[in-house]
Structure 1
Amino acid sequence: MSAGDDARFMALALSLGARGLGRVWPNPAVGCVIVQAGRIVGRGWTAPGGRPHAEPQALAQAGEAGRGATAYVSLEPCSHHGITPPCAEALAAAGVARVVTALEDPDPRVAGRGHAMLRAAGIEVTTGVLAESAWRAHRGFLLNRTKGRPAVTLKLASSFDGRIATATGESRWITGPEARHIVHAMRARHDAVMVGGGTARADDPDLTVRGMGATHQPVRVVCSRRLDLPRDGRLAVTARAVPVWLCHGPDADPGRRAAWNGLGARTIEVAVGPGGQLDPGSILQALGAAGLTRVFCEGGGSLAASLLSAGLVDELVGFTAGLALGAEGRPALGVLGLDRLAEAPRFRLIETGAVGNDVLHRWERA
């Protein structure tokens, strides 16, 4: 195979893996393609819930055609025995001649051992193909394994002048239906949707994926130091149907904790920072420890500002509408406490385009 062929088939493996985003945590969303004499004979991706892995599914589809073939895998095959046998072992047993991967898996149980197991079996191994694209695709899993936290996407939908509501709090709807439809698709590709307690109180949100035949829902996370949230709202009455996780401070009233637990929610105690608000790093460490790899934060302004200030936002998604609300409108972000431009968090533009009458722009941390 040429380098061009390797890149083409790895791109397909990455696109297959993306089908599992939001559905496979705490496992990575891996894709696998089996190629025999230039022809694809097997395809697979991580199944909902994280198992089966991509490789055994692709090998099962390939059957005997997998013997002597090349396997393209978007992340190093696992090498440890868990609920299922190692994928590296399955590839060797199937008789593949070559394995091409994009990245080494930093999980301490793997960390190069999968590649070593393949080489020990006499299989040619090529690594680093489309590594940058794979890093972006697996960012949540990689951050969970290396830093103990999920990747964070911060979404802000605002007016042209950066406001998210009028002075009276009216916010539905600043952006149009096309933008809102895309937001639901983005929710579906994340493990969890997160908001601050102020947003939960003011908007009484569902935080679910709607309008697209969704068969699964992300975890709904609310960050509220004192757990002073309405227990007759939408989140409360649906907590047994769709998971609700509440991050709170150590000073939250025990009665409120018990009440929310009784409604079916999961309460998670996290540290409070110097400013008296929940520490964003502690929040993400707790969510990472619970297995989350990708979190979609939809505000409000204080939570968004705290994540940005702490350098914990990995991707920004903005929807900008063609209307202006003026200085009296509510800003998209809370106080950042910046004195100089050099202190402002910087992001690199990766996508922009029209969505209905609004503008979508995506940025990643520089």
Structure 2
Amino acid sequence: MNFEQLFAENKEQSISGRYLTLESISTFLKRINTDNQLHVVGQSVLGKPIYKYLIGEGKTRIFLWSQMHGNESTTTKALLDFFNVLHNGSDLAKELLSNFTFCALPMLNPDGSNAYTRVNANDVDLNRDSQELSQPESIVLWEVFDDFKPHYCYNLHDQRTIFGVGDTSKPATMSFLAPSYNKKCEINESRLKAINLIAGINDILQQFIPNQIGRFDDSFNINCVGDAFQAIGVPTLLFEAGHYPDDYQREVTRKFVFFALVSSFIILSENDIVGNRMDDYLKIPQNSVVFYDFLYKNVKINYDGIEKITNFAAQYKEELIDDKICFNAYVSEIGDLEGKSGHYEYDANGVLYTDENDNIPEVGQKADFYLTKNIKFVNGLVKM
């Protein structure tokens, strides 16, 4: 299959970037509501509708939800792209619709999406609310799950730019997890199905982003939705959309989420998850916290007349300003930073750091400074 062509032909052009709200996808959802597939199944804390999209006539039931964390929109974009595939009339669409019934909650946390926050309007992380069910959004998720009785669950998320793949110094552009079902992190039939499926997805993605696929930590937490669903015997896959070089809008990563979704359903339709691919799954390196957005090496700093060479790092903070996500860089750490990498790295070769404050980098200050008086950095980057 030509995944690149499939994505190009089905990418939803009406949405892009990181800030995705219910308003920004509502026109699309109404457009694909061609046969009463779209239903309001509940409301958020602030009264926004939570939509369910149900399509297909197949015996294998697939349950997907995205933007449980409101500021994690990449998988939502890819999910809508996949919906376009189901509506394009192709042989692939017909095969998928005959083999599967898809039930999706494209935006579980519309309040958090609007505010661009991880939590909902009550400041609760919905992915830590699977047992208490204290929030209306959590109740909706479980009610749909109980009613739909899925054979597979897809828990769709974004991860931060700090994650790399093992010790490779490669960004974790995509990461996956077959969540544990108990504290011993044992393998049962249900979890093995998810493991085998992820191993198959990895086979496909390695052709496009070699060594940029990680495996998320599988520590068990029954308060997490994926762990809870796995614990009651439903194979669950965690998707984590991460950083691709220079892709802070996550439009390239969006494509690889799409590849992962489509390839997984092809694998399932071909019943290609038999056997035991645990070894292949474990060969996917675990995520490691090794990245900063910016890493500045061998910088000379004058501390009260004493000069020393050091390194420092800066990290973007994603700030919602006038309905736009602004990436503002702040100094995050100073020191040796051994074993760390930067998505953007600059070797100062011992030249002097100065800024408009105390002429030393301090954690929390904006990454606006000079290296010598001739090289100016604004918001982390060299100002050309």
TM-score of the superposition, structure 2-length normalised?
0.27
- The structure richer in helix per residue is 1
- The structure richer in strand per residue is 2
